[in-house]
Each structure stands twice: as structure tokens, then as C-alpha cells.
Amino acid sequence: MSDPSTRDHEIAHPVFAMLYDRLPQAFLLAPHRNYLVTDLSGSVLELGCGTGDMFPFVADTATSAIEYHAIEPDPHMRTRAARTARDLGLGVTLRDARAESLPYPDDSFDVVLASVVFCTIQDPDAAIDEVARVLKPGGEFRFFEHVHADGWQGTGQQLLNPLWERVAGGCQLTRETVPRFVGHDAFAVDEIERLEFGLFPATPFVRGTLRRRRDSVLG
């Protein structure tokens, strides 16, 4: 059950939604978004689809074997995502929802995707609990996220974070995402790779796949 303060926190960034697709780093992310959709099949949920930047990659690999769902709580982003899906001819069930409180039954999806989204989720611990809940036993959680850096870059991120959060749609530069993911009892690690690329301050990245344990018991 999500915290009431999380549900009441408004998510609406009209200017950031307008500029998002023009960010200079977007072209660097394409190989890693391809990683997320490789051999994609079954029922799939994308968390925080934004303006639909994953949709072209899904459309390139989509077959009748994929049932694609996506959530996006920002109405400005969601409007653009719906337009992107329509232009691509991609069938997407797009819903207004937050990762902390997913509107799906237990064991609904074969794959859950997260592409540069956990940096903006208000309660990431609740969100990873929800990912575990809606994944079928043996299902995959595939992710590609930027994380807190080491050394001087990490110090710089801490200094910049209050301003960055305001101008970048709530994005957090200092999230310790990997320990949160691998430390969750419901998941086994298939693979995780740290990627030293990107433009400061949104660098480095990690990508990987976790698998919901078949013997996991969710609270």
C-alpha cells in the first residue's frame, strides 16, 4: 500500500515534457534501450514511459506475442506518449498511475521495464516492491538507470541535486539504485553492468536484469 503523501504529490512538468525529447543525451541511450527490448515477449509493463521514448524500440521488435502496457503519472508526458504510440501504430495500454501503486493484480506480467525512471520515483522502495508483486514468478525486471557517481562527480551531484531536481522533472542525481534492486529478497540477479558513459551530472548508468524468484513470498 503506498504512502498517502506519495499519492497526493502532484506530478506535472509541462516545460520539461516539451523539452525532454530534445535532450542532448538521448542518442547515446539507444543501444541500451535496445537491450531492454531484446527478445521481448508476453505481457510487458513499462514504468514511467515519459513521452514514449521506448516506444520506437518496442515497435521495431513488437509481434502479436507482446501485450504492451505503460504507466505515466505526468499528464503532459502522457499526452505526448499517446501521440508517439499513435504515430508509430503501436498498440499500448497507457494508464495514469504511479510505480508506487500499480493498478494491476499480482503476477500480471512476464516482463517489467524501467528506462531512466527510478531517478524520478518519489518512493523507490515502494516501487520495487510493486514490481515484484506484479511480476509473475520467474518474470524479468529489466532496467537501465543513471546512478550516484563516485569521487568528485558524486560530490558534484550532491551539490547540484537541489537545483537539478527542480529543472529536470524531479530527477534525483544521487540515487543508490543498484543496492536497492539487488538487496530485494524477491529477486535473483541475472546480470548487472555499470556503464561509464554519459554527460555529467547524469552519469554513470547501470543496466541489467533481475528475475523474480519462483519461491519468493511477498508480504
Q: In this predicted structure, what is the pLDDT of residue 23?
A: 53
- The predicted model scores a pTM of 0.85
HEC-encoded secondary structure of the chain: CCCHHHHHCCCCCHHHHHHHCCCCCHHHHHHHHHHHHCCCCEEEEEECCCCCCCHHHHHHHCCCCEEEEEECCCHHHHHHHHHHHHHHCCCCEEECCECCECCCCCCCEEEEEEECCCCCCCCHHHHHHHHHHHEEEEEEEEEEEECCCCHHHHHHHHHHHHHHHHHCCCCCCCCCHHHHHHCCCCEEEEEEEEECCCCCCCCCEEEEEEEECCCCCCC
Q: In this predicted structure, what is the pLDDT of residue 160?
A: 80
Q: In this predicted structure, what is the pLDDT of residue 27?
A: 63
Q: In this predicted structure, what is the pLDDT of residue 19?
A: 47
Q: In this predicted structure, what is the pLDDT of residue 193?
A: 93
Chain centre to alpha carbon of residue 20? 15
Q: Which residues of the chain have pLDDT under 70?
A: 1-27, 62-64, 217, 219
